[in-house]
Amino acid sequence: MANEKKVKNIAEKADLLLRPAVEALGYLLWDVEYKKEGSDYNLILTIDKEGVELTMDDCVAVTDAVNPILDEADPIPDSYCLEVSSAGLERDLKRPEHFARYIGSEVEVKLFAPTDTLPKLFVGTLTGYGEEGITFTVDGKDALVEKSKVASVKTVVNYAEIFKNN
Q: Residue 155 and residue 98: Cα distance in Å, rounded? A: 10
CATH number, domain with residue 23: 3.30.300.70
What integer pLDDT is reported at residue 166 of this predicted model?
Answer: 58
Instruction: Tell me the pLDDT band of 158, cut-offs 50, 70 and 90.
Output: confident
pLDDT digits (tens, 9 = 90+) for 26-62: 999 999 999 998 999 999 999 999 888 899 999 999 9
Between the CA of residue 50 and those of 16, 28, 116, 141, what are the distances in Å?
A: 21, 8, 38, 32
What integer pLDDT is reported at residue 145 of this predicted model?
Answer: 96
Looking at 56, 86, 116, the residue that finishes a domain is 86
- Give the pLDDT mean for 115-137: 95
- Give the pLDDT mean for 130-134: 93
Considering only residues 51 and 160, tell me which one the structure prediction assigns the higher pLDDT: 51
What integer pLDDT is reported at residue 130 of this predicted model?
Answer: 94
**Residue 145: domain span:** 96-164
Q: Give strand pairing partners of 38.
A: none
